[in-house]
Structure 1
Amino acid sequence: MTAETESTTEFTSFKEFYPFYLNEHSDATCRTLHFVGSWLVLAVIAMSIYLGNYALLWLIPVVGYGFAWVGHFFFEKNKPATFKHPLYSLIGDWVMFKDILIGKVSLKG
């Protein structure tokens, strides 16, 4: 199945989607930018709680998607899966983040 075909496929489960998601993140710089963006999302949440300034939460999509989309458009050179599979992609971001932390997914090429 080609990437184009897979991008239009309707997945019936996250387990079915995740291999496609990882394939869409084969570039190490793209994965690294996702990882940094996820850390920054956690930092924004923590800072917002610490300062009691919940307006900072509006920055979450900017840092989370900003870093990820730079990775896709400039390094991976593909369209983020978020556009076709938003919920599975959001879950995929955090599963990949966890998989990077535990060494299951590498930040190296």
Structure 2
Amino acid sequence: MQTNHLGTSLATAFSQVTDSNKVRNYVLRGKDIPLKNINVFNDYLRNNSHPIPLSFDYEVTNSTEFPFSDKLMMFHFGLRLNSGIGNYGAAISASRKSDLVLIYPTYQQKY
């Protein structure tokens, strides 16, 4: 959940500071999957009376000045995508709850 929240906040931040429409569209498309995953996990946690983690969206400012190059932002965004997939793999292998493993997302969409 935290990786997904971090990814959506990072996508919001990067999309508002880039001049490139290509980069902006890429990171906004990359924001859709974590949002869907967050909704799935929130529903599971809510239905099982567990606390729901807060997002990091309040940490994103309204700044539109680009402090980083598009190349650096794409590197960090790609790294975040890959680490998210790795987190799911580790969680599936370590989870003892078979019902939770079934709701882990599959990455069939291409970025």
TM-score normalised per structure 1: 0.28
Which entry has the higher C-alpha Rg, 1 or 2?
Answer: 2
TM-score normalised per structure 2: 0.27
Which is helix-richer, 1 or 2?
1
